[in-house]
Amino acid sequence: MANCSSARVASHAALASHAALAPIAPDSTTHVRAGVVRSSIRFDHLGARSVSIAYEAQGPAGAPATVVLGGISAGRHLAPTASDPSPGWWPGVVGEGAALDPARHLLVGIDYLGGNSEDGLLRPVTSHDQARAIAAVLDELGIAAASIAGASYGGMVALAFAELFPARVARLVILSAAHRTHPMATAIRSVQRSAAELGVATGQAARGLALARALAMTTYRSTREFEERFESGPLSVGKPGQSPSYFPVEQYLNARGADFIRRFDTERFLALSESIDLHATAAASLLPRTSLVSFDTDVLVPPWLVDELAARSGRCPRHITVPSIFGHDAFLKEVDAVATLLEAGIPEVVR
């Protein structure tokens, strides 16, 4: 195992030393292309299936292409368009004037495969299966090679893509992801899946899925953030013999669960949650043009696991650990730090 060193920055200001890229002028020819690719994919466990892959691409023709991938609830919509003015799932990092700007990059997003669809139940599905879907979209767009910015599950998919299609990768920036999951993270997700499955079995699918999401939120954030954010007492006290109603943190978790069930269904959640725990790539397949980013309070993908990937790869890629109170969700919350590292890892040059 290689003896690789990793950088643990003391502050966000220290990240400035990792980026020295001058911005280039926006291109007025930015355009949006969205659609559905129909492709035959050989799944790791399901065999050959013809599937539909929804995508959205924004940016000037001929600009450097970057595939942008997030967690299991992320999708193809990355930045506001005329037909969909919503900000996308990574605001502040992707968008006009941001690190990943559709005026300067050709940005590609996809909807992950998994769960019930017109193609039947897609489960189990792996990070490698998602990588094959991305390759089909790039083929449709006529893109031979692209950079990939992948965070959380998207980072796993990016690593799988690099393993399967190394010649098609220009640069990789992997945030909050590694070559494998560790047993404690799998244990927590298995309880989430059990809650969702119990909901279905008892005729309370929405309730089960909301509880699964609420439990997930306790692992996405850090104990330090919860200590600073929430009071420990209840908002109100029930009648004698009744439980206190709504501790502040309980109210927050219930709200996150309610929001999730408006956007997700149980089968899709089960397929993608399971896909995280099926993830495994060979560390030796890591490409030399890779930047790794972890966060010091992330309990799902702790910095030591990313160190393991770097060391076992034998390539000693750059690994930077960023301080944050936001745990695994820091890739969504630490906008300035993430933007700085993306600008350094995915230069605005045509390759």
Do you find a cis peptide bond into 234, omega within 30 degrees of 0?
A: no
Side by side, the strands of the sheet bearing 31-43 are: 7-8, 318-322, 290-295, 169-175, 146-151, 65-69, 106-110, 47-59, 31-43
Residue 296 catalytic?
Answer: no
DSSP string, 23-39: -----TT-EEEEEEEEE
Burial 63-80 (b: 16+ CB within 10 A, else e): bbbbbbbbbbbbbbbbbb
- Which helix (H) or strand (E) covers residue 206, if one does? helix 205-220
Which residue among the candidates 147, 152, 291, 324 is catalytic per the annotation? 152
Buried-state track 202-226, b at ≥16 Cβ within 10 A, e below 16: eeebbbbbbbbbbbbbebbbbeebb
| The one catalytic residue among 129, 298, 307, 329 | 298
298 an active-site residue? Answer: yes
- Phi, psi dihedrals of residue 294, rounded to the nearest 5°: -125, 170
Judge whether 319 counts as a catalytic residue: no
Catalytic residue annotation: 152, 298, 328
